[in-house]
C-alpha cells in the first residue's frame, strides 16, 4: 500500500493572522523516505490509520462512490517511513 508514496515532503507551518492577512512561518521540513508496508499494517492494527469509505446516496437514490481511502493523523505520518531527513 505504501508503495505509491515512497518519498514524502512534510512541512510544518505556524499560521499567524494580522489584520486580514494570513502569514506562514515554515519552521520544520522533512523528507520521509523508505515507505514500509509492515509499518502501514501495524498502524492499521493500532487504529492510527483508518479506512475511509467515501460512498453516499444522492437525493435521487443513486449511489455515488468516490472510492475507498485511508486516513491518518499528521503526527503518525513519520511512522510510515524508515528514514527522516531534516531540511530546516
> pLDDT tens-digit profile of 20-59?
999 999 999 999 999 888 888 899 999 999 999 888 889 9
Could you give the number of structural domains in the chain? 1
DSSP string, 48-72: SEEEE--EEE-TTS-EEE---EEEE
Q: What is the pLDDT of residue 28?
A: 93
Domain with 14 in it: 2-86
| Distance of alpha carbon 72 from alpha carbon 70, whole angstroms | 7
* Residue 9, strand partner residues: 31
CB 29 within 8 A of CB 86: yes
pLDDT digits (tens, 9 = 90+) for 79-88: 999 999 999 8
Helix (H) or strand (E) holding 75: helix 74-77
Amino acid at each position: 500500500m505504501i508503495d505509491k508514496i515512497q518519498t514524502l515532503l512534510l512541512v510544518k507551518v505556524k499560521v499567524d493572522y494580522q489584520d486580514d492577512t494570513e502569514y506562514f512561518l515554515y519552521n520544520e521540513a522533512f523528507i520521509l523516505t523508505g515507505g514500509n508496508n509492515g509499518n502501514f499494517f501495524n498502524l492499521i492494527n493500532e487504529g492510527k490509520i483508518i479506512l475511509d469509505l467515501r460512498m453516499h446516496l444522492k437525493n435521487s437514490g443513486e449511489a455515488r462512490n468516490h472510492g475507498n481511502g485511508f486516513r491518518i493523523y499528521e503526527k503518525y505520518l513519520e511512522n510510515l517511513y524508515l528514514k527522516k531527513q531534516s531540511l530546516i
